[in-house]
Chain A
Amino acid sequence: MDSLAASAEQALKRWELENNITDAIYFYDEAKHAKIQQQKPWVKEPHYFKRVKISALALLKMVVHARSGGTIEIMGLMQGKVDGDTIIVMDAFALPVEGTETRVNAQADAYEYMVEYSQTNKQAGRLENVVGWYHSHPGYGCWLSGIDCSTQMLNQQFQEPFLAVVIDPTRTVSAGKVEIGAFRTYPEGYKPPSEPVSEYQTIPLNKIEDFGVHCKQYYSLDVTYFKSSLDNHLLDLLWNKYWVNTLSSSPLLANRDYVAGQISDLAEKLDQAETQLHSRLGSLPSRKKE
């Protein structure tokens, strides 16, 4: 019986480690971070950071904030630390700025907010630094637009280490899985080695140019999540109250407008494709008769 219990415990520990349920990650080592800040290993290699670990809390906060904005883009900052080639995001907070396509930099009072918030947080026991920013693209996918690219390039020059995260709350709700992407830009003039093709996502017609022009200037990082053991325990118990919501929720009902919008966008794309086809291969119909 003892050996059985011991092996069960080992299996549990292994599972915990694999599934990132560790509490050690919450410890903030001041000295270690000061050293990393001095060394700056990311300066030499543009592709240095490869992975992102987001805490359960940060994810929930970002998704809820993004969804609360409705169709308006929102933005906020993330706090965390760096560990080797992984950026760890522990927490996120919202910024009081209106998101518009013409915004290049958050305005002055947003900076003031950020400074004050970081100060009060440090007092309350959250010691991490700001390690990135996030914003939402409601309905049109997770990628960096031209403005986003230039903002991020600026950030990566002066506020390293910095990460850009994009969330699409509309697609999250309609697809039933979290639509999130983490990106870092390449510095000016750097030619990236050819990357494996990432998962295909549909971009609405009016944004497709913006997407295409800049899509080679940044690369995406792998996103994984972690939670504490207490979080895990609470979430398990939460499920006991949650199952009703799971059954009663219907993604179709919740997202009617979005689905209708997507279908009409698709129709437009097909129209465009058709006109292109006719202009290029005008001789095609006659061939088939032979």
Chain B
Amino acid sequence: MECVFGMVGKGFALVVADTSAVNSILVHKSNEDKIMVLDQHKLMGASGEAGDRAQFTEYIQKNVSLYQFRNGIPLTTSAAANFMRNELATALRKNPYQVNIVLAGYEKETGPSLYFIDYIATLHKVDKAAFGYGSYFALSMMDRHYHPDMTVDEAIKLADQCIEEIRSRLVVAPQNFIIKIVDQDGAREHSWRRTTKE
């Protein structure tokens, strides 16, 4: 029942993810950070199979860092998205990674961008994206209330509405959520939405 969703606003992009680590009926912990900070201006929210999520996202992060060390400039968001897709596609017919990713990034030249990357290596550049059972509620909420060039406050309000909808309508809704934002000042944690402490 993992939920990851994101949207693009005016000069920023937002990624929201639940923070539960679940095994069958047991919740092992409710404060697992699933939104990885790829580099200064990129966020990667990932959901999926336990080992795959951590291993794949760390592999991508290290390779993105390596590119920056080797070439002196960071990858663009588009390049990082395509690199990720390629890795997923190469592994798909042998040893597929069961991970769904929402990639958000900011560049001075092109502004904020959001990419939807499926576990079967689908890649779309989008304004809003969502994965998991929560997507059934978040996508329609976002379709209804989203408009281009939202301010941070409007986007956070929309994210809160999506979280509330997930909480009230999904049968086994995750307890806590984390919101991270990326804009010209960099990628950082914005806030948590908690119902339980741990």
The answer on A and B forming one complex is no
